Amino acid sequence: MTTAPTPPPVPGPGDPKPFLPVRTAIVLQTAAFVGAIAGVLTYFSTGNTAGAVLGGLVGLGASVPTLNGLIGD
């Protein structure tokens, strides 16, 4: 005789909400990764730290709306 699996607990009114939804966290984490890769590659090609930081920030900023559109609700 097997028993039925217990269902997950239903969140109650006292349970805190997450700081960020999972989708937002995934978009921001992936955008940060893309920006870091862009910055590192820019630094390797130019050797200029300031340019690499700017390249990384541009990569991060450009990838956020793109990833937001690609990763559905």
Number of other residues whose CB lies within 10 A of the CB of residue 59: 21
Distances from the Cα of 57 to the Cα of 6, 22, 27, 35, 54, angstroms = 46, 23, 15, 6, 5
pLDDT digits (tens, 9 = 90+) for 23-70: 999 999 999 999 999 999 999 999 999 999 999 999 999 999 999 999
Side chain identity at 3, as an amino acid letter?
T
Specify the pTM: 0.73
